[in-house]
Structure 1
Amino acid sequence: MNNGVVIIGAGHGGVQAAASLREEGYEGRVTLIGDEAELPYHKPPLSKSFIKDSGAKPQILRAEAFYAAGSIDLLLGETVESLDPVGKQLKLVSGGSVSFDKVILATGSRPRVLPVEGGPLAGMLSLRSIADARAIRALAGEVEDIVILGGGFIGLEIAATLSAGGRRVTVVEAQQRLLARAVAPVVSAHVAARLAASGVRLLLNTVVNRIEGDDGHVSAVITSAGERIPAKMLIVGIGVVPNAELAAAAGIQTANGVRVDAQLRTSAPDILAIGDAASYRHWFTGADVRLESVQNATDHARLAARTITGHADTYSAVPWFWSDIGDMKLQMVGLTGGSDRQIVAGEPADNRFSVFHYSGPRLIGIESVNRPADHMLGRKMMGAGFSPDTQSVAGGSDALKAAFTDWQTRQPAPV
């Protein structure tokens, strides 16, 4: 056990895994490999503050001194070409090799490619890395007509940011509502109304059939309705694909990502997977999921470190997410796919409300718009297993807190 742990991927999950290994008392070698030359950085600001401020710099996850102080070998600008679970060695594209005792795959995901006639052309961009954000920021300073393909969180965050900067922004979404896979219809409608009021044009139930170019640069998109929309920049945000190819080529089981058990081990026991790339049976829903969030990546990372250091914990974190779209802070807790009843608390007209999702009597999720107290209380309630009744929800934050406190006092003391 002298080759230590190699972490492949230097995003939020990879960096947290390195930190957590040291926090858990792991004394072996820790190597963190990232395919970008940048010091690991926060990704959420890329779709907001970074692209609107020409002087903005990356917000690093940890200072460079952290890696030195923790004896973490940082290999940046390196890509892993192959992984040998039996020989316990990985090869780098640069020609080198690294031996390991354990591997944590924190390989993340990549933007889905647009399968449409006319591409690719200059000016067609996606956002996943700081290089992408720099390209969007630079081009946005030169053009006025921008089309964003995809009405998910990233696309809408960018749309709100660029529209506020004076650009003419059109969002083209194939579904009948925005954020259709993520939030309740009342939240979708609210987001759509506020974006439209801010100047963003929304085309729902619409797809792009063709892209037109001029001298190799995108100039317009042709929609399924036959409309030609000028576009000097086309941002594609139609979802992501898990980076599971490295694992699959090594004979590790994959299915919508790298399959892991409740302790994040893959089918090769000395190799773990975390974050966007990991697919697993979720403790809360009993369904197979692959979650794309900073929270999921960092909580996975902490558990992976505990698994490697000999603990028997299983994954039991309550999932939560957030998104800043214009003047709307969306915060979500839980997984609402099995919701059969919703209760709205607050007033959408005030741009402050929450939607409580139930499956039968069980609270399974809360979506909040500019109601952070509901979100934070919701995380505590769901973590404890408490489901408030309708009257408590309708009574507002004070009634919810009182109901939760009363419930806690009635729980049996731990043995």
Structure 2
Amino acid sequence: MSSIKTIHVLDEAELQDGQMKEVAFGEGKILLSRLGDKVHATSAFCTHYGAPLAKGVLTADGRVVCPWHGACFNVCSGDIEDAPAPAALHSFKAHVADGKIYVTADPSDTLKSNFSRQPKLLASGAENAGRGVVIVGGGSGAFQAVESLREHGYAGPITILSKETYTPIDRTKLSKALITDPAKIEWKTAADLKIKYGTNLRLGVEVTGVDLEKKNVTLDNGKDTLSYDKLILAPGSTPRRLPIEGANLENVYTFRGISDSQKVDAAAREGQRVVVIGSSFISMELVVAISKRKLASIDVIGMEEYPFQAVLGEEIGAALKKYHESQGVRFHMKSKVDKIVASEENPNIATGVVVNGETLPADFVIMGVGVGPATQFLKGSGIEVERDGGVKVDQYLRVKSGPDTQNVYAIGDIAIYPQVNGDETRIEHWNVAGNHGRAVGCTIAGKEQPFVKVPVFWSAQGQQLRYCGIGHKVQFIAYYVKNEKIVAVASMQNDPVVSKASELLRLGLMLTPEEVEAGKDLLSVDIATVPSLTKLQS
């Protein structure tokens, strides 16, 4: 017997054009969105980490942006628009009659806080003839490419080749929470990827060569080869180590994957001393994670005057430094590491770091000094690798060099891609990689989609820091100006400012510096009833 019901959920007058409201449906919740004279109903919570979408941002072209991490959905269909959403929203039937809004659905479905639907095309279409899509890498870009390929109707084979021994994970959780079990942060289980997404997973393998003319990749130095129709290069990055004495001692850790998280987690015990080399976002997120463990000392060494100065500026960097100091962190800024000192009893173990002539005692060392694109395997392929290790791509993320540019894509940390303003950039951020994967999936599935997303990232710094664009309770909104235009926005404890700012930047409706100085509130700008955009979602 069907449990589908049609229920009056709200009076029409209570939902104005451009508004969203979370309303009860049975014992659960749904999200109502009104665009013009149309009312749409979807599941109410983001499929990423369950944020209430009603607190997000709605635009006139039908996008709802999560207030926490920038995931975006189409309210008309429930489809994913932007990463890091791992699954689409469920869309319910809504109609207006006699001044009342009705929704038709199974009330039990709405009890699931992250209620989502599978991609439109499931694995039943995945066994078609052909070599299909081969993805080198097992990170955010790889997973989102798979989801996007199936969501947009690609029916061919998909193969993921990953050096890691686990399925794609939410890598951001590693530095923020020191997760040591990949099963707790995997996007989908291996069984789901195989059965529901029709994906062939080959884990623990390394791609060591690419032959663009033969259209195949070499695995593990010639032990195997695999042919492709379309190739997506998403290998990510490799952590760097400083070229100094002691950089490779056993208890000097870089940070990238589960094994790194396991090492730091095991070392960060009560009473231990740690020296963190580098004041990057990853380094400082690890500082936040381990500062709760009653360590004897935490020393941070940075080259700039303040942490995050190059990205966020001096004022915000100073405020965040002050917060971390209130938690017992000691900073050694504008400093250079001379060497890492080994134990006399065990020459393989670090016992201190020498900086500015002073030796900081250490039971373990974390080296967070950046990463380099993992593109060594492209040597001899015909694809030109730039001096920084990146690969230049066009607006569709196709590689620009080599004999088969129409069938090879580079995404994520390795991609040097064109921005809307014409500049080329390479951004080492997980969310950019995810959205690269989504764009490429759409293009390969038959609907070419240029990459025009506004970069968004977030960081756990005692409070939640948000950024979009190219003890002491810190709270701020910062605008970054270039050539008399606002090009980026950062905030802390001001959600959903960055979600709104990313949409304003995308739509070309960002405030001017003069408007901000005059006191105009970014959140007051109407982007949900703009006539020129409303017609896009109809």
What's the counterpart of residue 493 of structure 2? 370
Tell me the TM-score normalised to structure 2 length. 0.70
Other-structure match for 1:261: 394
SS at match of 2:213: coil
SS in 1 for 2:312: coil
Match of residue 283 from structure 1: 420
2-structure distance, mates of 1:176, 1:189: 8
Report the residue type matching 1:367 in the other structure. Answer: A
Q: Are residue 231 (structure 1) and residue 362 (structure 2) matched?
A: yes
* Secondary structure class of the residue paired with 1:156: helix
Distance 1:82 1:376 in 2: 40
Summarize the alignment of residues 341-356 of structure 1 with structure 2, pairs less than 5 Å apart. 350-356=473-479
CA contact (8 A) 1:172 1:206 kept: yes
Retained in 2: the 8 A contact 1:139–1:233?
yes
Identity over aligned pairs, percent: 28
Q: Which of 358, 361, 380 is equivalent to 2:503?
A: 380
What displacement does 1:395 show?
A: 7.9
What is aligned with 2:353?
221
Letter in 1 for 2:468: V
- Amino acid of the structure 2 residue aligned with 1:97: T
Conserved 8 A contact 1:13-1:301:
yes
Structure 2 contact 182–258 (Cα < 8 Å) conserved: no
- Distance change in 2, residues 1:195/1:234 (3 Å): same
Structure having the larger proportion of residues in helix? 1
**Secondary structure of the structure 2 residue equivalent to 1:235:** strand
**Letter of the 2:456 counterpart:** W
Which of the two has higher C-alpha Rg?
2
CA distance in 2, matches of 1:361, 1:350: 31
Amino acid aligned to 1:332: Y
Contact 1:49–1:56 under 8 Å retained in 2? no
Q: Is the 8 Å Cα contact of residues 109 and 241 (structure 1) preserved in structure 2? A: yes
**Structure 1 residue identity aligned to 2:423:** A
| Cα offset, 1:392, TM superposition | 5.3
Q: What count of residue pairs does the alignment treat as equivalent?
A: 397
Matched with 2:279 is 151
1:16-415 equivalent positions in 2, closer than 5 A: 16-50=144-178, 58-67=184-193, 68-93=195-220, 95-141=223-269, 144-167=272-295, 168-214=297-343, 215=346, 216-223=348-355, 225-255=356-386, 256=388, 257-266=390-399, 267=401, 268-269=404-405, 270-284=407-421, 286-325=422-461, 327-335=462-470, 350-389=473-512, 393=516, 399-405=521-527, 408=530
Classify the secondary structure of the residue corresponding to 1:48: helix
Gaps of 5+ in 2: 1-128
Instruction: Measure, in 1, the Cα distance between the counterparts of 2:420 and 2:380.
Output: 28
After superposition, give the CA deviation of every residue in 1:7-52 in whole Å (9 maximum; x if it has no partner).
010101111111211112111111011111112211111112225x
Mapped to 2, the partners of 1:121 and 1:251 lie a distance apart of 37
* Deviation sequence 1:144-177 (CA, Å, 0-9, x none): 1100000010001111221221111100001222
CA contact (8 A) 2:485 2:512 kept: no
**Conserved 8 A contact 1:126-1:235:** yes
| Contact 1:353 1:369 (8 Å CA) reproduced | yes
Determine the structure 2 residue equivalent to 1:338.
Answer: none
- Partner amino acid for 2:206? T
2:143 is paired with a residue whose SS is: helix
Query: In the superposition, relative to structure 1, how do residues 405 and 83 fare at CA in structure 2: closer, same or farther (>3 Å)?
Result: closer
Deviation at 1:141, TM superposition (A): 2.5
On the 8 A contact 2:501/2:522 being kept in 1, the answer is: no
TM-score (structure 1 length as normaliser)? 0.89
Over residues 255-289 of structure 1, what are the superposed CA-to-partner deviations in whole Å (9 max), with x where a residue is unaligned?
A: 231111111111231211101111122224x2221
- CA separation in 1, counterparts of 2:534 and 2:336? 55
Contact 2:485 2:513 in 1 (8 A): no
What CA distance in whole angstroms lies between the structure 2 residues aligned with 1:41 and 1:287? 31
Distance 1:301 1:395 in 2: 40
1:148/1:170 contact within 8 Å kept: yes
Alpha-carbon distance in structure 1 between the residues aligned to 2:163 and 2:452: 30
Report if the CA contact (8 A) 2:440-2:449 is conserved. no
- The alpha carbon displacement at 1:71 in A equals 1.3
Contact 2:163 / 2:205 at 8 angstroms: preserved in 1?
yes
CA contact (8 A) 1:146 1:232 kept: yes
Distance 1:301 1:18 in 2: 8
**Residues 233-257 of structure 1, C-alpha deviations (whole Å, 9 max, x = no match):** 1100011101122223312022231
Q: Is the contact made by 2:432 and 2:455 (CA closer than 8 Å) also made in structure 1?
A: yes
**CA displacement at 1:403 relative to structure 2:** 3.4
Residue identity opposite 2:469 in structure 1 = G
Say if 1:412 and 1:80 are closer, same or farther in 2 by CA, change over 3 A: closer
Question: Which deviates more, 10-19 or 177-186?
Answer: 177-186
RMSD, matched Cα = 2.5
Deviation at 1:409, TM superposition (A): 5.5
